Amino acid sequence: MSTVVETDVLIVGSGPAGASAALALSTYGVPNIVVTRYASLADTPRAHITNQRTMEVLRDLGVEQDVIAQATPQHLMGNTTFCTSLAGEELGRVRSWGNDPLAQAEHELASPTRMCDMPQHLMEPVLVNAAVARGTRLRFETEYLSHTQDADGVTATVRDRLRGDTYEIRAQYLIGADGGRSKVATDAGLPMGGQMGVAGSINIVFEADLTRYTAHRPSTLYWVLAPGATVGGIGAGLVRCVRPWTEWLIVWGYDVAAGAPDLTTEYAESVVRKLVGDDDIPVTVKSSSAWTVNEMYAESYANGRVFCAGDAVHRHPPSNGLGSNTSIQDAYNLAWKLKLVLDGTAHPRLLDSYTAERAPIGRQIVTRANQSIRETAPIFEALDGLSPQTPEQLWANIAARKDTTEAAGKQRAELREAIAFKAYEFNAHGVDLNQRYRSGAIVPDGTPDPGFARDPELHHQPSSRPGARLPHAWITSGSRTLSTLDTVGRGRFTLLTGIGGEDWVRAAGAQEVEIATVVIGPGQEYEDPYGDWSRLSEISDAGALLVRPDGFVAFRHASAAPDAGELLTDALRSILGRA
């Protein structure tokens, strides 16, 4: 044991959660160290769907364009296809990920950003490079072993895997972003609910030019209903596009009770052949790995000075593409709170809001992702393809839908309905954007919860009620058009008001904590030429919204207030845990 290294925040893990925590903290000027067990960042594509909320986070952290430059764009993601193999019969499609014309409009109305497909092995370098450029100290091949905490900080013991020796890192706070087998979460004793190892899955990464089977129905996901496709796995066989149309990842199930098959190249190639369905196409298998479907979430994300984020606290299958999105959003929620506590602006009580706000989201997405697997079964049921049978029986059932009989018509209708129902996996815009927080870092304004006018999993419903994300509206500043979301963030609070809101502006300037002010209205710094903001803001011109650094509304007052200073001071005291 030698020197003790010191920092403000020690982050274990350089995956989406750890890398974005480091990026946000370094952006806010908080010293941090990342240790990561392996010699490199993710070397396989893993998570990929990147939703609008995550893109908003990345926009605020200044890396949105770096992601767009490498990602597959939204319009190439959207023909989720169900088939017997890529070369085989097609059973139907779902217009996905906001590519249905109505969904497209909802996406455009909801956010200044677009979702995209950014494989994890490309995403992590973007996050990590920016974090390191802004001050993060990153240590590869450094394994977290244990930690102790006391009233003033956390001491972690880590092993340098290159040299084999251990040393200690002393930090004010420790973030466990060490993935689905989190040792930090275990050591911190975080209470977990649910179950690990629900089903077995295999990922096979391969190269093959599949242009002829995919370019005419561009998609991120091609689902294959073949014999064996209901054993384990994530609902059916999956051919996922990594780079159009030459790099791919197959997900195929195995019986978890029997254990993972021997992942030889021959085995991997046989699965690829089955799902592609064309033996003449040259295929190069790059890697294969086994993993399990989990349905587990932590009830608490923190113990004292130790906070966990990402898969460490929510473990679920890739369905709905929520893994790295939720991980990045956890980190973004935590980072500004740590910054304000570390610089003395907030009481450590503010950190309690991390579990209060993110644990319900973690539980929701674990449940949704697993439910999405189960919701694939009706597609097989429509084809009478769930019960044990020979491949010939399955093909005969699939062929039967082309008959002229009444039964065949019923089968076609059931199949259409079962495929369309998969919108809950591929078009769950509400799951992506309807997060509403309740915690000590939100000041209720006494208005009743408006609930949701439409299905809250499928449709986004903007709201400025405290706890909701600030609604997006295009506004202007001189010749520049920008989103209301572009006026907030960058690690500070923002107060939005309009004509007649001078008392609010004065009150914001008089607070100890930095508050940017945004006045929207004719002749002001920001104008609302389309009237969108005034329709969405749910306050009068002279009212005010106080928005947190993470873009969530913390306080709302619908009208002018002669006692604005007092109201704002009280609100901030409560938000910052100083009440």
Binding site for ligand FDA (CB under 6 A): 12-18, 35-38, 46-48, 120, 143-144, 177-179, 183, 203, 289, 291, 310-312, 318, 321, 323-324, 327
Do you know the residue count of the chain? 579
| CB closer to ligand FDA out of 19 and 443 | 19
| CB closer to ligand FDA out of 27 and 461 | 27
Q: To the nearest whole angstrom, how small is the minimum distance from the Cβ of residue 493 to ligand FDA? A: 27
The DSSP code for 357 is: H
| CB closer to ligand FDA out of 289 and 559 | 289
Q: To the nearest whole angstrom, how small is the minimum distance from the Cβ of residue 252 to ligand FDA? A: 12
**N-to-C CA span, the chain:** 43
Q: To the nearest whole angstrom, how small is the minimum distance from the Cβ of residue 41 to ligand FDA? A: 7
CA distance 422 to 192: 29
| CB closer to ligand FDA out of 262 and 406 | 262
Helix, strand, coil share of the chain (percent; to 5)? 35, 25, 40
Give the number of other Cβ atoms within 10 Å of residue 278's Cβ.
Answer: 15
CA distance 264 to 427: 36
Render 43-95 in DSSP notation, one character per residue. Answer: -S----EE-HHHHHHHHHTT-HHHHHHHSEEGGGSBEEEEESSTTS-EEEEEE
Q: To the nearest whole angstrom, how small is the minimum distance from the Cβ of residue 138 to ligand FDA? A: 10
Q: To the nearest whole angstrom, how small is the minimum distance from the Cβ of residue 534 to ligand FDA? A: 38
CA distance 156 to 139: 14
Tokens of 77: 């993601």
| CB closer to ligand FDA out of 15 and 491 | 15
Q: Which residues contact 53 (CB under 8 A, 6 or more apart)?
A: 111, 325, 329, 432, 433, 435, 469
Which of 60, 57, 13 shows the shortest CA–CA distance to 32? 13
| CB closer to ligand FDA out of 292 and 540 | 292
| CB closer to ligand FDA out of 26 and 324 | 324
| CB closer to ligand FDA out of 15 and 543 | 15
Q: Is 169 helix (H, G, I), strand (E, B) or coil?
A: strand
| CB closer to ligand FDA out of 144 and 213 | 144
| CB closer to ligand FDA out of 299 and 343 | 299
CA distance 553 to 536: 13
Q: To the nearest whole angstrom, how small is the minimum distance from the Cβ of residue 271 to ligand FDA? A: 15
Strands annotated E in 84-215? 90-95, 116-117, 137-139, 142-149, 154-160, 166-176, 192-207
Whether 558 and 543 have beta carbons less than 8 Å apart is answered as yes
Q: To the nearest whole angstrom, how small is the minimum distance from the Cβ of residue 408 to ligand FDA? A: 35
Q: To the nearest whole angstrom, how small is the minimum distance from the Cβ of residue 18 to ligand FDA? A: 5
Q: To the nearest whole angstrom, how small is the minimum distance from the Cβ of residue 267 to ligand FDA? A: 17
| CB closer to ligand FDA out of 309 and 508 | 309
Whether 401 and 415 have beta carbons less than 8 Å apart is answered as yes
Q: To the nearest whole angstrom, how small is the minimum distance from the Cβ of residue 66 to ligand FDA? A: 18
The DSSP code for 229 is: T
Tokens of 348: 């450590």
CA distance 464 to 543: 12
Q: To the nearest whole angstrom, how small is the minimum distance from the Cβ of residue 484 to ligand FDA? A: 29
Q: Which residues contact 256 (CB under 8 A, 6 or more apart)?
A: 197, 198, 199, 200, 232, 292
Q: Which residues contact 558 (CB under 8 A, 6 or more apart)?
A: 445, 538, 539, 540, 543
